[in-house]
Amino acid sequence: MADSGPTQADGHAGQGNVLLVDDEPQVLHAYGRALRAAGFHVIMLPHGGTVEDVLAKNPVDVVVCDIRLPGLDGIDILKLVRRHDPDLPVVLMTAGGELTSAVEAVKHGAARYLLKPIAPELLCETVGEVRRLGQLASMQRRAFELFGSAACKEVNQRDLGRRLELALETLYMAYQPIIRWSTKSVFAHEALVRTREQSLLRPDELFAAAETLGRLFDVGRAVRRLVAETLEQTGPRCVFVNLHPRDLEDDTLYAGDAPLSAFASRVVLEITERASLSGIADLRERLAGLRKLGYRIAVDDLGAGYAGLNWFVQLEPEIVKLDMSLTRDADAEPKKQKLIASMARLCRELEIAVVAEGVETAGERAALVAAGCDLLQGYLFAKPGRPFPVPQLDD
Ligand code: G
Ligand code: MN
């Protein structure tokens, strides 16, 4: 059918490609001519049935479309164009002042709404203008795709700063008892950092956020201040405090007037074996400084990381804490139990105290005790809680 196919009206396409849809042949040709004269390349359609096909095959910059058409009307075409390209401008034309259609047209994102008869200059000017708007829109979209993720990151970073601030404001310490099984008594408590900021509930998330923002020291200082406040209010208790390896570089840790320094003789600083100590300048002097204040040092999570002999030699820990991966199912795995027994024996010979962490079952407890571990910590006795949870010490 000759009248259902697109009619190519070749001009030089310097001004861009226009898809013109109108069911009145004279109007179609008159507007087509005007646009061509203004330098547009024009594809003319007498109805909307093939719009999708034409859009798929031709680079179209602007769609100019009558609102009243047989079959698909202007609004249908507008919706169809939006699905195809969010930035392709559509100019709708109508003979009457159909207000509802005008409102709908705007709602669906028509760029302009023109009342017929339309002066050729106004048509060309409008098409030229919306074409530029469309180009601008697609450029900004491309820019967002290219650089927007960086911008998003920046926003997230800002958001992260706010969330870390909230986390610091709502920081508190939970305490979990460490049991001396032979006397069924509490040997010490481990202080574990907690926050009410929902997005940073897990300590590893909290520390990752602090590290990203270069605020690790702020977390460490807050922890030590909170522990000091609690120690000030209680009797002679020993508390284990986790130290981020980078905290060793915080000079306030060594200050005699720092909040926790007053209680150093009651504090064991845990340094995890999961992290590296390499790169910490003057480690030996720093450790000596801590001991001079009265702190003892524990290797945390032993068996979970890569600490070698050198690490032990450097830290000379008073205490080691066996990682809970060693504790887990120790009663069901004789090899594990043997390994724990060897480690406990070596530590005894070196006069290093051993704490087995993560004890969850009576079976694990029995296996650990049989392997020579007397200091035990885990959910079996008490979960971490407000100072100070009462442990369950029944057999
Ligand atoms: O790395 P560190 O040993 O400091 O980690 C102690 C963490 O282990 C705390 O978050 C504490 O809540 C958790 N924890 C303590 N006891 C148990 C336990 O018996 N089982 C498990 N799965 N986790 C425990
Ligand atoms: Mn710990």
Q: What CATH number does the domain containing 309 carry?
A: 3.20.20.450
Q: In a mutational test of the pocket of ligand 1, which residue from 173, 175, 190, 192 has the highest number of ligand atoms less than 8 Å from its CB?
A: 192
- Site to probe by mutation for ligand 1, drawn from 272, 300, 324 as the one with most ligand atoms within 8 Å of Cβ, is 324
65's CB contacts (< 8 A; 6+ apart) are: 19, 20, 21, 22, 48, 74, 77, 78, 90, 91, 92, 93
Domain match, 128 and 153 both: no
Ligand 1 atom nearest to 174, measured from its CA: 12
Closest CA to 296 of 321, 323, 327, 277: 321
Distance 105 CA to ligand 2 centre (A): 64
Residues 171 and 206 in one domain: yes
Which residue segment(s) compose the domain that 272 sits in? 149-377
Nearest-CA residue for ligand 1 atom 9 is 192
Burial class (CB in 10 A: 0-12, 13-18, 19+), 77: buried
CATH number of the structural domain spanning residue 81: 3.40.50.2300
In this structure, is residue 391 part of a structural domain? no
Written as six digits, the tokens of 123 are: 């048509």
What is the pTM assigned to this prediction?
0.65
Contact between residue 391 and residue 356 where contact means Cβ atoms under 8 Å apart: no
CA distance 191 to 223: 9
pLDDT in tens, 264-277: 999 999 998 877 88
Residue 86 CA to residue 129 CA, distance in Å, equals 17
On whether both 251 and 350 belong to a single domain, the answer is yes
What residues have CB less than 8 Å from 83, skipping those under 6 apart? none
Closest ligand relative to 173 C-alpha: 1
User: For residue 201, which ligand has an atom nearest its CA?
Assistant: 1
Based on the domain organization, do 232 and 348 belong to the same domain? yes
CA distance 35 to 41: 8
Residue 106 sits in the same domain as residue 220: no
The answer to whether residues 168 and 116 belong to one domain is no
Number of Cβ within a 10 Å radius of residue 104: 16
What stretch of H or E contains 319? strand 319-322
On whether both 125 and 267 belong to a single domain, the answer is: no
The answer to the question of residue 390 being in a domain is no
Any alpha helices (H) in 298-382, and if so which ranges? 309-315, 324-327, 334-349, 362-370
* Residue 292 host element (H or E): helix 283-293
Mark whether 351 and 204 lie in a shared domain: yes
Assess whether 34 and 123 both reside in one domain.
Answer: yes
Distant-in-sequence, close-in-space partners of 171: CB < 8 Å, separation ≥ 6:
193, 194, 195, 219, 222, 223, 226
Q: How many domains does the chain have?
A: 2
User: For the segment 152-204, what is each residue's pLDDT rounded down to a tens digit?
Assistant: 566 677 789 999 999 999 999 999 999 999 999 999 999 999 999 988 999 99
Percentage, residues of the chain above pLDDT 90: 68
Residues of the chain where predicted confidence (pLDDT) is lower than 70:
1-13, 97-100, 143-155, 306-308, 310
